[in-house]
Chains A and B, each alone.
Chain A
């Protein structure tokens, strides 16, 4: 829990405190130097301070991940809700589409979309967002279906409430726990997805500091300067770890069914 809040705190406040130039300041003489007093976490291949870069990178990586997950929610939530609530043909058609998209590995989808749209920040968000939507939509649909068949929803329906009203006030609140938990986990995967895309050259653009890009840049220097990878790698690991644990805790709290 604390982990997650730490990361979010850094993501929000670091950019306010640290001037952006700190992350791109180069000094060739100190390139690839291990952690020392001048550079707390060492420097990368262009002599940039890794401490500042990883701090500022938090904003980029988390920002992209959050936007991407939000986007997949914006598309996936209504999709899943409508599909699960109305069932029947609507469900069949929509889910057929979703299943088709699910057959494409998420990374492949993201890669292709990135290749089509071009590599920049917005497109990376779109690529990851779209790639994650099918999974989320399916999950939400399952939940919506389950909740829609509950007795009290039936009761509300027969009492004449409109569909929209029912969906918003009855179905939605009940699926929220799952949505929240899943979003948290998706956030973790989104961060990894951003790293993967950057590794293949289609994610964040330099000299922007994002964790994925930093790991990608460290690829050639791993054996003689492992900290260039370990610094962003640890940041990713801690964040993802924190998010996963946070998700677990949330699940235990919000979703009574998962209690064993």
Chain B
């Protein structure tokens, strides 16, 4: 059966979605069946409905169906125009001209014009909004709207990644002028679905927006029901209460894949996990200790143990499908002997080094991984103890206070290179909670920002990945699988997952009955 073939191919390729069917970019589509209410069992609780202020995928996933942005990324992470019809970047990278599509309607019936674009971006740039994506616009000097369908963004300084940043994480989302105040209760945008209601903690209901610029969606309604408990979510799928669920428990995926009544897809781009070593912790300032720890960890076995093999080990945090991915990096294999030697060299005999591992219960597989690590560390003569933290505590202690020794973290849908490498590895990066201060990386990431040529920029990022690996700034362990399971009655599943591997697009999904 054709479907099965595609699924096998996808698993074989590690989940990279290479359908090759989507050119031209916005292919004409047809809804084999129109109508129906799709019930989606979502693993997350929704929070702030105002797109500009929401930083989490939990709400972002739903809002991405309500909003469209100026530009977006296709399945291969190439930037393509969305609400913009076309765009042009000046040779010196100081000016971006967007030609907007005509006839795009917002949910409230009004037409989208350049005024809305200017409004949306200025809201993000306004400190009062507290917008999560404000740093994206840091180099923006002015936004001009010479006519209703042209927007010219002039930069104060070159920021080559700007376009990419606009396509990521809802930074380029356009909201109707003046709607910021009500976005929290009634999110309105130009996306394929309208917001109907949110039963707090329970479900969110969306309905089809018939005047969507790219053609109306196939289903009438989408209900995103919150089911955080994995077993319960899986049960919901099996009993037929839900048409679709995301993130099947990793130990059950193989079992569910064998179930003829269900459609399962898993892919390994979108989320990566890495082990963090804090530079503030004295022993970790010694390169040899960091190297030793890398040699203690058997990444494949850890993946088996913590995630039931659902993922791909990797040495780089980048997306495998990304142009800047460094294919040459190979993880260091486990070598306890070497680790012990390195530790001895650094002055740590058996039992001398004591490390506390702070793991968050928000990701239960981190806890499992930590327990496995304790055993290996013991073999190498290091005493590892675990401290379980709730998400709130982890954010507070590790992320903000940087008060930790060793930890583990994952990052979701961070595909845009500047966002990824600058934030994580530049000494001033917003995600640099490990205290990494490497002049080489700083120089490289700054250079990338002003390198307008895409290929040259990709090369720079490859160098960054190499450097991170050489210096063991972090120990990337794997890209873990995300998955969804659906009833056979759900069609169009191949269009469901976006290029970032984390957000879902229900526009072309349809229900068989």
Contact = CB atoms under 8 A, between A and B. Distances in A.
A28 B231 contact: no
B375 to A, nearest CB: 6
Interface residues of A, number: 22
Contacts of B389: 119
Interface in B44-100: none
A115 B390 contact: yes
A220 B231 CA distance: 6
B230 A206 contact: no
B371 interface: yes
B131 interface: no
Interface in A189-242: 201-202, 205-207, 219-224
Contact of B251 (A28, A120, A201, A220): A220
A67 B335 CA distance: 42
Interface in B345-394: 361, 364, 367-368, 370-372, 374-375, 385-390, 393
B185 interface: no
A207 B367 CA distance: 9
B510 to A, nearest CB: 32
Contacts of B255: 224
Contacts of B364: 220
Given A26-B372, A46-B372, A206-B371, A220 B305 contact: no
Contacts of B385: 205
Contacts of A222: 231
Interface in A16-61: 24-26, 28, 32, 45-46
B371 A207 contact: yes
Given A28-B304, A46-B305, A220-B251, A119 B371 contact: no
A173 interface: no
A28 B249 contact: no
A24 B231 contact: no
A105 interface: no
A201 B388 contact: yes
Contacts of A24: 371, 374-375
B490 interface: no
Given A45-B368, A46-B371, A223-B231, A28 B388 contact: no
B301 interface: yes
Given A45-B251, A115-B390, A118-B393, A219 B372 contact: no
A221 B388 contact: no
Contacts of B231: 219-220, 222-223
B390 A220 contact: no
B281 to A, nearest CB: 19
A83 B240 CA distance: 59
A205 B368 contact: no
B387 A120 contact: yes
18 contacts: A25-B375, A26-B371, A26-B375, A28-B301, A32-B251, A46-B371, A46-B372, A119-B388, A120-B387, A205-B387, A205-B388, A206-B370, A207-B371, A207-B374, A207-B386, A220-B230, A222-B231, A223-B231
3 tightest Cβ-Cβ pairs between the two chains A and B: A201-B361, A207-B371, A206-B371
Given A119-B387, A220-B249, 10 more contacts: A24-B374, A26-B371, A26-B372, A26-B375, A28-B305, A119-B390, A205-B386, A206-B370, A206-B388, A207-B374
Interface of B: 230-231, 249, 251-252, 255, 301, 304-305, 361, 364, 367-368, 370-372, 374-375, 385-390, 393
